[in-house]
Amino acid sequence: MSALITVRHLVKRFGAKIVLRQMDFTVETGEFVALLGPNGAGKTTFIRILASLARPSLGEVWISGFRLPQQAAAVRRRLGVVSHQPLLYGDLSALENLQFFGRMYAVPALARRIQEVLELVGLSARQRDLVRTFSRGMQQRLAIGRAILHDPDLLLLDEPHTGLDQDACDMLDTALKQVATRGRTVVMTSHDLARIQDLASRFDVLTAGRIVSSRAAPDLPRDGLLAYYRQTLEQQRSPNGGGL
């Protein structure tokens, strides 16, 4: 395996506030990495930097051999992003949304690719309906379809389960598993530890602006993610933990 993402000494500041502190992070091709952490830990900021939507203040970020932000266009071609917002136009149909983003990414054989993606996310029957008539779960499934339309190497997911009911979460997880089994690299933030334990191959805990612990899925006992996460945060809060 080779490193798809390499982050070295990443710092992100907003004015006087430091959100990411000398952060190091590496993801191998084909890994499904779950980024865990409390609110305000810097997860969303980190995902936005990887997505080239925000600039690092200091440090190096490399994706697929391209450096951010200098080679952002080349990186954008290789990544798909799903956030808690759908990034879709409510006044366009599902089909029109995918047609629009397909044109923006210059997807070859677009009509056929759109039908493949709609089939994958289970929305073929609703493709001509306006997105604003979709449930939140359907919008998130279409958001995954938009993110994988151009067949990216890397998927970045920022709390995609937010606001979804149990059925919608199940459908989203099914779509994510299908995406992951096709060999794509995934980095996902989530607070839903029960769900993410079944999805990810590695769990990194991000708190106070840096990765403080990392554990491969096989090294955790079944249903042991919550205990691992709590223990890691406790260690950081203790006087000798050094994190907070």
Partner 1 sequence: MSGLTSFLSAMGAVIWKDLRAEWRSREIVSAMLVFTLLVIIIFNFALDLQPNIRAGISAGVLWVTLAFAGTLGLNRSMAVEKDRGCLDGLLLAPVDRAAIYLGKALANLVFMLLVALIALPLYGILYNTNLFIPGLLLTVVLGAEGYVAVGTLLASMAVQARTRDILLPILLFPVAVPVVVAAVKATGGFLAGLAWSEIQPWITLLVVYDVIFTSVAFMVFDSIVEE
* Binding interface with partner 1 (CB under 8 A): 48, 51-55, 69, 73-74, 76-77, 79, 81, 83, 85-92, 96, 100-101, 103-106, 130, 146
- From the CB of 76, what's the least distance to partner 1, in Å? 4
- From the CB of 81, what's the least distance to partner 1, in Å? 6
Beta strands in the chain (DSSP E): 3-14, 17-28, 32-36, 58-63, 66-68, 79-82, 154-158, 185-189, 202-207, 210-216
In the complex with partner 1, the residue whose CB is nearer, 148 or 233, is 148
Residue whose entry in the numeric block shows the structure tokens 């203790």: 238
In the complex with partner 1, the residue whose CB is nearer, 2 or 91, is 91
In the complex with partner 1, the residue whose CB is nearer, 155 or 205, is 155
Contact 169, 141 (CB under 8 A): no
Q: Is the peptide bond before 86 cis (omega within 30 degrees of 0)?
A: no
In the complex with partner 1, the residue whose CB is nearer, 73 or 109, is 73
In the complex with partner 1, the residue whose CB is nearer, 110 or 220, is 110
> From the CA atom positions of the chain, what is the Rg in Å?
18
Alpha carbon distance, N-terminus to C-terminus of the chain: 34
- From the CB of 114, what's the least distance to partner 1, in Å? 14
- From the CB of 100, what's the least distance to partner 1, in Å? 5
- From the CB of 16, what's the least distance to partner 1, in Å? 16
Q: Rounded to whole angstroms, how far apart are CA atoms 17 and 74? A: 30
Torsion angles phi and psi, residue 207, rounded to 5? -145, 145
